A and B are shown apart, each in its own frame.
Chain A
Amino acid sequence: MDFNFTEEQGMVRDGLSRLVREQYGFEERRKAIASAEGWRPEVWAQLAELGILGMPFSEADGGFGGGAVDAMVIMEEFGKGLVIEPFLPTVVCAGGFLKHGGTAAQKEEHIGAIVSGAAVFAFAYAEPKGRYDYADLETTAKKDGAGYVLNGHKAVVIGAPWASHLIVTARTGGERRDRSGVSVFVLAKDTPGVTTRDYVTVDGRRASEVYFENVALGADALIGAEGEGLALIELVTDEAIAALCAEACGAMKVAHAMTVEYSRQRKQFGVPIGSFQVLQHRMVDMYTAYEQAVSLTYLATLRLGSDERTRKLAVSAAKVGVGQAARLIGQEAVQIHGGNGVTDEYAIGHYFKRLTIFDSEFGNVDHHLKRHVALS
């Protein structure tokens, strides 16, 4: 048993931490969100240069040989600075599908482009009526000669406005919600028949509704075996959840620290409000929830390579525990900041918003409690 990070992981953390601190201040982030592009391509290029975008790929695939723990370290630092750039959909999700299910040709075509920063991906899995069930799909890919014709509507596709490529889940057979008959495709976003409606999200990112109308795909667009995609989706989304939990841990750590600092500075009744025991205990409860969340994030990250049941139990445990901690810490941080906590001017409200939306990504607390029950 060993909870230490390697020297390389320490260096990645230090480098990213410096980048976020020096170049990703709150005001710079605010400006980026308000800009037409809504993100900072120059930061993306820097991440490529630092090797961050290639970290979790094997050297054989053109990466730097890291793994899930490296992704955790990276995402935690992103969480601390509320970084909006699409590392999760591009590197963790699309990268995961390519690593675990891609053909040699698909890896060849896409991984190098991800590592260099040239290709940006979004993962289109959610649907208006599907809630958190990856198999509850109305999007279809019908066999057409050697290829497929894709039709459907994907909801709230995070990072899609910035993406050059999409990973899309669709039904190639079976009935809605069947475990079999689900397939995964990779395609360029400018493929004819793909349209988007782009918008800002409440936590400062960009997303799209993505519509597919008779989109013709070649056989080489399919990732993994036709109709057998669900197990692959579950694996990759479990990896995404572990990474997302790490991001939330980073955000919670900062939210807690900001709150403690505010309670030190803010004086009422002639003393810092942090001297009131009622607030002290609440900040202790926040801290405890944070530490428990970190533990569950480690557990999930270190179990990603285990057998399916062990992996799913650990990942669901993390999504539940981190989700509960994120809600508690977000709400209490705002409350202890008083009126300032509900303003746009103070950073704490922005941490609160990110920690709120976290719960609705890849299944909320209830969803993962159910999955945990089903596997127990």
Chain B
Amino acid sequence: MNLEFTPEEQAFREEVRAFIAENYPKHLADFGMREDMAREDFVAWHKILGQKGWSVPAWPVEYGGTGWTPTQRYIWSEENARVNALMPLPFGVSMVGPVIYTFGSEEQKAKHLPGIRSGEVWWCQGYSEPGAGSDLASLKTTAVRDGDHYVINGQKTWTTLAQHADWGFFLCRTDPTAKQQEGISFILVDMKTPGVEVKPIKLLDGGYEVNETWLTDVRVPVENLVGVENKGWTYAKFLLAHERSGIAGVARSKRGVEKLREIATHETLDGQPLIKDFDFAKKVSQLEIDLAALEITELRTLAGEQAGKGPGPESSILKIKGTEIQQRLTELTLEAVGTYSAPYMGGVSNDNGSNEHPVGPDYAQHAAATYFNMRKTSIYGGSNEIQRNIITKMILGL
């Protein structure tokens, strides 16, 4: 057992670092957590990586994966986090992509995987409904077979960045008589189909990143069904486990802690840098300790996966601790900026449209909006309460 990188891994790090330095779009440098970008900005790095063959490292090689070891993938995400790179969005790459190559037909693989790899096609996720959040299996959106089509009706919510989406993957009830989990199907929908309507939901930070998606008599060819009818819940759970393991955000949080220390070097207390204040420094160290533990937990999980272990309770641990750490980071950043946390300079996901220089230091500009926005992380992807229920079932044996 050891934590050192092999010479080959060191060489790999040099290689990807050089590639990122050479190719990452300059105008998107140090992107942070903001999402106020045009579609082309979101996919810029994704497209470059697609050409290089590095956009879907975790996929099997036959579908375009890189064949990297978990350690290499870890190095890859660390190197990207160093420059705060805007990574490919998860909806295609880590959500629907793995479902399609695992459960989809050959036609679906041929049709959809290339666009996900290249970044040309934007996907969104149609899971939650107004009445089906934590209790996802109670979803009511229906898909009724009509000849060689399904006719879909219902309302989805929290559809992240659906305003840009070309395609969506939707959970629909295809057997209303079956037990909740057993009558659900996983269906791919072209977002340009008549009857699909996307309406923005404004978030408390003032930004726009999620939507309500209304489906009214949306006719979808039956070949868009993934896998077997009424088995969608199995695929949905498979996807959620995948979503959770990416959700820890360790590398990005490490960069966030560095930034927090920088901010606390500029901020002063009694004429000294804030980071010299024991009370504040102690909190930053505590956060770093929690993050160090999470990092090793994630590496242990990755090593387990490499040895063929399926995702267990660890992926829920990663989700809970990862999001708690992300939230704590934004909380301490807010504390560090102090008085200048109050001015509103536009939400996390949209600009105030002004060319005026922000009030207060640059690093304070979105501190409050980011803190507000990141409350979502303990709610989405299966709330942290649901994660604890999952761990309860898996380990307590009660």
Q: How far is the CB of A223 from chain B (nearest CB, A)?
A: 23
Is A156 in the interface zone, CB < 8 Å from B? yes
Q: What is the predominant secondary structure among interface residues of chain A facing chain B?
A: mixed
Q: Is B308 an interface residue (CB 8 A)?
A: no
With A201-B343, A339-B128 as contacts: A345 and B201 at CB distance below 8 Å: yes
Residues of B within 8 A of A176 (CB): 271
B369 at the interface (CB under 8 A from A): yes
Contact among A201, A339, A366 for B379, CB-based, below 8 A: A339
Smallest CB–CB gap between B191 and chain A, Å?
21
Instruction: Give Cα A207 to B280, complex, Å.
Output: 27
B203 at the interface (CB under 8 A from A): yes
A129 vs B267: C-alpha distance when bound (angstroms): 7
A237-289 contacts to B (CB < 8 Å): 267-270, 273, 276, 278-279
Flag A359-376 by CB within 8 Å of B: 1 or 0 each.
110001010011000000
How distant is the Cα of A268 from the Cα of B136 in the complex, in angstroms? 9
Contact indicator B343/A156 (Cβ below 8 Å): yes
> Which of A201, A279, A356, A359 is the one whose CB lies under 8 Å from B344?
A201
Residue ID in chain A nearest B271 by CB atoms: A177
Would you call B297 an interface residue if the criterion is a C-beta within 8 Å of the partner chain's C-beta atoms? no
Stretch in A6-14, A131-139, A294-302 with 4+ CB within 8 Å of B: A131-139
What total of chain B residues lie within 8 Å of the partner, measured CB to CB?
Answer: 52
Q: A131-B338, A352-B372 are in contact. Are A209 and B385 (CB under 8 A)?
A: no
Query: Contacts of B134 on A, CB cut-off 8 Å?
Result: 268-269, 273, 338
Please give, as numbers and ranges, the residues of chain A lying within 8 Å of B158 by CB-CB distance.
339
Given contacts A342-B375, A349-B204, A369-B279, is CB(A197)–CB(B359) below 8 Å? Answer: yes
Is A203 close to B, CB under 8 A? Answer: yes
Chain A residue nearest to B377 in the complex (CB): A342
A199 interfacial contact with B, CB 8 Å: yes
Contact pick for A202, options B210, B342, B380, CB 8 Å:
B342
A353 to B340, CA, bound (A): 14
Q: Are B383 and A338 in contact (CB under 8 A)?
A: yes
Q: Is B84 an interface residue (CB 8 A)?
A: no
**Complex alpha-carbon distance, A321 and B277, angstroms:** 21
Complex CA–CA separation, A356 to B342 (angstroms): 9
Q: Which of the residues A156, A267, A349 comes within 8 Å of B340, measured between beta carbons?
A: A156
Which B residues between 373 and 397 are near A, CB-CB below 8 angstroms? 373, 375-376, 378-380, 383-385, 388
Instruction: Judge whether B202 is part of the interface by a CB distance below 8 angstroms.
Output: yes
Q: List the 8 closest A-B pairs by CB distance, nearest first.
A: A349-B204, A268-B135, A344-B202, A202-B368, A201-B342, A200-B344, A202-B344, A269-B135
Please give 16 more A-B residue pairs, beta carbons under 8 A apart, in addition to A132-B338, A342-B372, A364-B338: A133-B269, A156-B342, A199-B345, A201-B342, A202-B342, A209-B359, A338-B133, A343-B202, A345-B202, A350-B204, A353-B204, A353-B368, A357-B342, A366-B277, A366-B279, A369-B279
What are 26 inter-chain pairs, A to B, with CB distance below 8 A? Answer: A131-B267, A132-B338, A156-B339, A156-B342, A176-B271, A177-B271, A197-B359, A200-B343, A200-B344, A201-B342, A202-B368, A268-B134, A269-B138, A335-B378, A338-B379, A339-B133, A341-B375, A345-B202, A352-B375, A356-B334, A356-B368, A356-B371, A359-B335, A360-B339, A366-B335, A370-B279
